[in-house]
Amino acid sequence: MSLESGKNLGFIASIINIIVPVVMGIVLISFYAALFSQLFASIQSGITPAPFFAGGVFFVVIGIAITAGVLSLVGYILFLVAMHRLSQYYSERSIFSNLRRALIIQIVTAVVIAVLVFAPLFIWSGSIAIGPNPTSTPSAVFSLLGVYAVAGIIGFVISIYCSLLYKRSFDRLAEKSGVDNFRTAGLLYLIGTILNIAGIGSIIVWIGWIFAAMGYRKLQPLPAAPAPFVPPYQTGTAVAKRCLACGTENSPDAAYCRNCGRPL
């Protein structure tokens, strides 16, 4: 498997993961700045503002968000393909197998959390539609919040475990390629996942993708294996005798040089 294909796909995936959050951040900041500017101007003038989405700005933001989501998915797929090809090039299955395991766990966890979140909500809303009970409504709300809290804790713990799998994958790639940028990228990915609870993890993960992009650019082909040394003349396990005077090779059992007659 060619190193260049995995190298280029990994670099493109990293660039997508670097650019998309920046573009979305700029778009959202611009959107809210325009929204609050319009509201502030309407308060000063006393005129009721027109709907903000009347000019199509809202739909432009939604379109950009959908495009960014599609690009992020494409970047993730390219990342998986790149790591699969690199695992084949370096003959190290764990470079990709850890990511595959993390993907399966994330899909299963997403399904479980969706069931935990929406099933109680449907049951509760159905019971209210049949006939609301004022005495049971507060307890039902607290039970629903408890289910959401459990789902959040499960999702957070699973995300940390999956980030450990990502770190192992990057660590193995760093070990096989000799590029330490991947080791740094994996560590930042893990730290960012843990600090997501504080709201700053996304920035750290974003920096990790910068190190990953630099790592992909530094990948070099493995050095060719040296050719095995083959003696110029051998009989069985004995080595040919070379004359020190003229350099002629003689049979292993020769006592004199066959060229110059000097004793061997």
Using alpha carbons, select from 111, 128, 122 the residue that is nearest to residue 144.
122
Eight-state DSSP code of residue 199: T
* Coil, helix or strand at residue 227: coil
Tokens of 46: 């006393």
User: How does pLDDT run across 41-99, given as a tens digit for each residue?
Assistant: 777 776 655 555 545 666 777 888 888 889 999 999 999 999 999 999 999 999 999 99
Distances (CA, A) of 49 to 22, 31, 36, 61: 30, 16, 11, 20
More reliable by pLDDT, 57 or 218 = 218
Over 90: is that where the pLDDT of 118 sits? Answer: no
Sheet strands (E) in the chain = 234-235, 238-239, 241-242, 249-250
Helix (H) or strand (E) holding 39: helix 3-45
Give CA–CA dist 163/208, Å, rounded. Answer: 12
Q: Which of 17-21, 61-65, 260-264 has the highest mean pLDDT?
A: 17-21
Q: Is 64 left (phi over 0), alpha (psi -120 to 50) or beta?
A: alpha
Cβ neighbour number for residue 71 with a 10 Å cutoff: 16
Residue 123 to residues 129, 140, 147, Cα–Cα distance (Å): 10, 10, 13
Residue scoring higher pLDDT (252 or 99): 99
Whether the per-residue pLDDT at 12 is higher than 90: the answer is yes
Q: Provide the pLDDT confidence category of residue 235 given band limits of 50, 70 and 90.
A: very low
Give mean pLDDT, residues 94-112.
Answer: 93
